[in-house]
Amino acid sequence: MWPPPTTRTLPVRGIFSPDRKEIIVTATEAPAHVAEPPKARKQSPQMSPQGSGKLAALLLSPTFIALGLVIVYPLISAIRESLYIKATEPDESGFIPEGEQFVGAKNYSSIFSGGSADRFWTAFGNTSYFTIISVSIEIVIGVSMALVMHHALRGKGMVRASILVPWAVPTAVSALLWKWIFQTDGVANSILNTQILWTAEGQQSFWAVVIADTWKTAPFIGLLTLAGLQVISSEVYEAARVDGANAWRTFWQITLPLVKPALLVAVLFRVLDVLRMFDLPYVMIGAHKKSVETLSMLAFDEASNVRYGPAAAYATVLFIYVVIIAFVFVKLLGADVVGEAKAKRREVKERVARTAIPSAVALSSSGGVR
């Protein structure tokens, strides 16, 4: 007979009988499946919060040391230097003392109310006007560049490369380039058919610097805005198209709000950069030009004349100005510089998940929803 009948071997159990003084052998059938005892999982050792904090501090210590050498030490040195001034007048003995004299806050008071107050307020106004006008124009042009680079179908790589070329050019090189363009016999006057002295003292030099700065740095805003546009899902635009939204309404109610975090970061970087503007007007227009002199140029001029105390005071005032603007952007306008918004969204999702699991367990134990 094929196939042969299957046989099953049964385990044997012995029972001792005291009457017969023998072992009675009986067969018992083993269960079909004997479950093995579960093996204990090896738990990975968990580090205590104190130990993880020490490890994090150890790993970040090189960064803190570098920041201390590059930022903290120069800042403290500048503040210390702003409290001293080089002696220029003879003392009681009729000789000019060597070294520096401690004057306290005299350098700061002379900035706002002394003989150099007019020059300081002019430079402060130029710096602020450069920042407001240049960044405003760059936002419009940069967002337009980002939209073009995002929606370009043919030659997308060529379009992106050509737009980013001005941003890759060094500032001193672009300043010389635009200085040649704005010469009396340059391209600008040839196109406009005029004879404007663009690099001379006056408002025309201010607008020449604004044009050159916009040409160079608008692609930077366009690049960061493009990164924000590429994160937006196409399903959002499809839903808006189904709802009947036109292109203008889609831009103001969908594109601009969703790209706002990236745009604010780009604007913050540009604002801080323009507030420290030095090389572009210095190379393009020159020093001691009242219409384009900035706070950085003013501090450099003081340091060039070996007046390190007033120069450090100008630099400290500019630093405070930059810190205030950065605080306004981060805290009031919500510029997400370090990804705090993403971390907060992740934290909210985890909190919702933690609260949802006990609720589901309680619901299942009570018999579900009736």
Confidence at residue 133, expressed as pLDDT on a 0 to 100 scale: 94
Mean pLDDT computed over 51-80: 86
Mean pLDDT computed over 118-122: 89
Is the pTM for the entire model greater than 0.75?
no
Distances (CA, A) of 54 to 20, 44, 49, 67, 124: 76, 19, 9, 19, 45
Compute the distance between CA of residue 366 and CA of residue 362 in angstroms, rounded to an integer. Answer: 6
Distances (CA, A) of 338 to 52, 192, 334, 341, 350: 21, 45, 11, 9, 20
- The residue that leads in pLDDT, 319 or 36, is 319
The owner of tokens 């269960």 is 31
Q: Under 8 Å CB-to-CB from 96, ≥6 apart: which residues? A: 87, 88, 89, 90
Compute the distance between CA of residue 360 and CA of residue 370 in angstroms, rounded to an integer. Answer: 14
Confidence at residue 107, expressed as pLDDT on a 0 to 100 scale: 84
Q: Which helix (H) or strand (E) holds 18?
A: none
Mean pLDDT computed over 36-47: 56
Mean pLDDT computed over 346-370: 50
Residues 284-325 pLDDT 10s:
998 888 899 999 999 999 888 888 888 999 999 999 999 999
Compute the distance between CA of residue 300 and CA of residue 282 in angstroms, rounded to an integer. Answer: 10
Confidence at residue 284, expressed as pLDDT on a 0 to 100 scale: 92
pLDDT of 148 above 50: yes
Confidence at residue 123, expressed as pLDDT on a 0 to 100 scale: 92
- Architecture of the structural domain at 80-88+98-337: Orthogonal Bundle (1.10)
Domain boundaries, the chain: 80-88+98-337
**Residues linked to residue 13 through DSSP beta bridges, in sequence order:** 26
Mean pLDDT of the chain: 78
Compute the distance between CA of residue 171 and CA of residue 165 in angstroms, rounded to an integer. Answer: 12
pLDDT band at 137 (very low <50, low <70, confident <90, very high): very high
pLDDT of 104 above 90: no
Strands 84-86, 22-27: pairing is unpaired
